[in-house]
Amino acid sequence: ESDSAPAGSPEALRILSEVFGYDSFRGDQGAIIDHVAGGGDAVVLMPTGGGKSLCYQIPSLLRPGTGIVVSPLIALMADQVAALESLGIRAAFLNSSLDVDEARAVEAAFEAGELDLLYMAPERLVLERTRALLRRGHVSLFAIDEAHCVSQWGHDFRRDYLGLSLLAEEFPQIPRIALTATATRATHEELTERLRMGRARHFVSSFDRPNIQYRIVPKDQARKQLMDFIAGEHSGEAGIVYCLSRKSVDAVAQALDARGIPALPYHAGMDAADRAANQARFLHEDGIVMVATIAFGMGIDKPDVRFVAHLDLPKSIEGYYQETGRAGRDGLAATAWMAYGLGDVVNQRRLIDSGEGSAEFQRSQRAHLDAMLALCETVDCRRVQLLRYFGQESEPCGNCDTCLNPPRTWEATIAAQKLLSALIRLDRERGQQFGSGQVIDVLLGRDNPRSAQSRHEELSVWGVGAELSEKQWRTVIRQLMAADIVAAAGEYNVLVPGPRATGVLRGEEIVHLRDDPEPARASRRSRSA
Ligand code: ADP
Ligand code: ZN
């Protein structure tokens, strides 16, 4: 809608400049604000950093009464409110961190019409007591932030969001605006339906973040690769490093610190005070690297994060996009860097298979992971793939690793057949299944005690893969696993033929794989938004 979007009404522009100190609206902001201020419902899909907050804050100031902001991020409410108060906006929050007297004072202020904005978590809003309070006062609008949390098959489901559908029935005359930075078609439809936004106008922004350079490198020695990346390209700059486990968060933070890169850990296993202290230092000091689990970052507004690095594979493209989206919110060049390897595929598949949930849930998680793997293994522009996932077509960007350094591909059908044959021979003739290390030794014809004991050298597949190096075989196995041609099974992650193995063995399916480019550094190009 950007082309036809009006710049915002004169009153909206006046508040933008007088209260917030900005001189023009970005993207759809003006149109959204006019629509909601005029009493309309809106569904807003806008990337992280796009400026969603103003879309409900300004209408709250334009309309009589208090704007109720529903957010799952209790930990951030105090900061958000403090920031608004510093602009002279009358804001408050209601959550479990307040004692009874404090909460009463906020409720009284709301009833007396003394608040422009009131933040609360969804579990609070759905209480009958809270709804009675809202009916006694005067609500100008409901803003439902992080609205994708209502999507059950999404990556961030929160049960309490389901209760928000009652707003449509109980407060039909009050405008509602649902906002999210997650924009797959499925999530969009689901949140529209579940929040009963049937009459809403939809504002879908471009999800491109042109100033972010996307790079995904094959994992070799992840920590060393990370340190080289930071030291080489982002020395002295603020960044976020995401790891899957608390243990690796602590270890990586220490390793960076030991290399002279100021780094702090952040994960749910730390006590709240330490976590808050680290977060505050990251926000207020220059050049701190936050090493964190994905518990960190939702709602963090630090404009000058220059890189986001992943040492473990995210579970979905939504997650990857949201996490990388925390880089470069100021529009200046930033890097989204990830190291990814065979172990990531194995681990994530296993997490899904051993996880809780219905078969349907597991299938949806698998589909999310497969899309993420396809992004990692693509030989095409990363940005094109990423945006296509969100339903937006684009041209190759010239600013991602595959554009800057196009990977070569090769026909690997025979290599795949050799690998599958080795798995089959080992199983049939020796009753054995192995992890990738031992299988590669067989393919290379490389002696080791286990092979000697099992007389692997007598197998027809012994040494048939000597034309590739061990490293190349690892790359091949990772890609075949991502493509479901081989799979990992059992407690020890032994390799077995995958669902698509038969077609490959019969020669009905041709396999093309990428040559992992040498770890040459992709050149930096600034593409300011
Ligand atoms: P989102 O919630 O979409 O991630 P925010 O609302 O936190 O984004 O806004 C991101 C940053 O952009 C904030 O620092 C905000 O102050 C700034 N911003 C938003 N709108 C404008 C604008 N029209 N002009 C200048 N800066 C803006
Ligand atoms: Zn590209």
Count of CB atoms situated within 10 Å of the CB of 118 = 24
Q: Looking at ligand 1, which atom is closest to the CA of residue 301? A: 7
pTM value? 0.75
CA distances from 508 to 423, 499, 513 (A): 19, 14, 16
In what order do the strands lie in the sheet containing 42-45? 91-94, 117-120, 66-70, 139-144, 176-180, 42-45, 201-204
Read off the DSSP letter of residue 210.
Answer: T
Residues near 49 by Cβ (< 8 Å), separated by ≥ 6? 209, 303, 325, 326, 328, 329
The burial class, CB within 10 Å (0-12 / 13-18 / 19+), for 463 is middle
Q: Name the amino acid, one letter, at 495.
A: L
Q: Which of 26, 28, 53, 56 to mutate to test the pocket of ligand 1 (most atoms within 8 A of CB)?
A: 53
The SS3 assignment for 343 reads helix
Nearest CA to ligand 1 atom 5: 51
**Span 39-73, pLDDT tens digits:** 999 999 998 778 999 999 999 999 999 999 999 88
Tokens of 375: 């992004």
Q: In the chain, how long is the greatest CA-to-CA distance?
A: 87
Ligand number nearest CA of 52 is 1
- Note the pLDDT tens digit of each residue in 337-385: 999 998 999 889 888 888 888 888 888 888 889 899 999 999 889 999 9
What's the CA-to-centroid distance between 382 and ligand 2, angstroms? 5
Instruction: State pLDDT tens for residues 405-444.
Output: 999 999 999 999 999 999 999 999 999 999 999 999 999 9
Which ligand gives the minimal distance to the CA of 401? Answer: 2
Judge contact between 227 and 263, C-beta under 8 A. no
Atom 24 in ligand 1: which residue has the minimum CA distance?
A: 22
Instruction: Output the CA 505–ligand 1 centroid distance in Å.
Output: 54
Residue 384 region, left (φ>0) first, then alpha (ψ -120 to 50), else beta?
alpha
Ligand 1 first shell, C-beta below 6 A: 22, 25-26, 29, 46, 48-54, 301, 303, 329
Q: 397, 381 in Cβ contact below 8 A?
A: yes
Phi-psi region of 331 (alpha: psi -120 to 50; beta: other; left: phi over 0): left
Contact 383, 329 (CB under 8 A): no
Span 461-485, pLDDT tens digits: 999 999 999 989 998 998 998 888 9
Q: What is the model's pLDDT at position 488?
A: 87
Answer for the pair 119, 75: CB distance below 8 angstroms, yes or no.
Answer: no
Residue 519: other Cβ atoms inside 10 A: 13
- Tell me if 364 sits within 8 A of 318, measured CB to CB: no
Three-state secondary structure call for residue 308: strand
Q: Quote the CA–CA distance of 14 and 43 in Å, as a whole number.
A: 24
Answer left, alpha or beta for residue 429, where phi above 0 means left and psi between -120 and 50 means alpha.
alpha
Q: What is the 3-state secondary structure (H, E, C) of 382-435?
A: HHHHHHHHCCCCCCCCCCEHHHHCCCCEEECHHHHHHHHHHHHHHHHHHCCCCC
Q: Evaluate if residue 513 carries a pLDDT over 60.
A: yes
CA of 348 to the centre of ligand 1 (A): 34
**CA pair distance 338, 216, nearest whole angstrom:** 5
Ligand 1 atom closest to Cα of 23? 24
Average pLDDT, the chain: 91
Extended strands (E) in 269-420 = 289-292, 307-310, 334-340, 409-411
Q: DSSP state, 522?
A: P
Nearest CA to ligand 1 atom 15: 51
Closest ligand 1 atom to residue 325 Cα is 4
CA of 505 to the centre of ligand 2 (A): 34
Atom of ligand 1 nearest to the CA of 50: 3
490 contacts: CB under 8 Å, gap ≥ 6: 433
Query: What does the pLDDT average to over 331-340?
Result: 96
52 Cα to the center of ligand 1, angstroms: 7
pLDDT for residue 410: 93
Residue nearest to atom 16 of ligand 1 (CA): 51
Task: State mean pLDDT over 84-93.
Answer: 97
Among 2, 79, 301, 323, which is best to mutate for testing ligand 1, by the most ligand atoms less than 8 A from CB? 301
Q: Which atom of ligand 1 is nearest to the CA of 26?
A: 23
How far apart, in whole angstroms, are the C-alpha atoms of residue 149 and residue 364?
Answer: 16
Q: 3-class SS at 118?
A: strand
Interval 301-321 mean pLDDT: 93
Angle among Cα 156, 371, 526 to the nearest 5 degrees reads 90
Quickly state the pLDDT bin for 1 (edges 50, 70, 90).
very low
Query: Could you tell me the distance, in angstroms and rounded to a whole number, from the CA of residue 49 to the centre of ligand 1?
Result: 6
Nearest ligand 1 atom, CA 53: 6
d(CA 441, CA 450): 10
What pLDDT, in 10s, does the model give residues 176-223?
999 998 777 888 999 999 999 999 999 999 889 999 999 999 998 999
| Residue found under tokens 């933070």 | 253
CA distance 132 to 7: 37
pLDDT of 15 over the 90 cut: yes
| Residue 452 pLDDT class (50, 70, 90 cuts) | very high
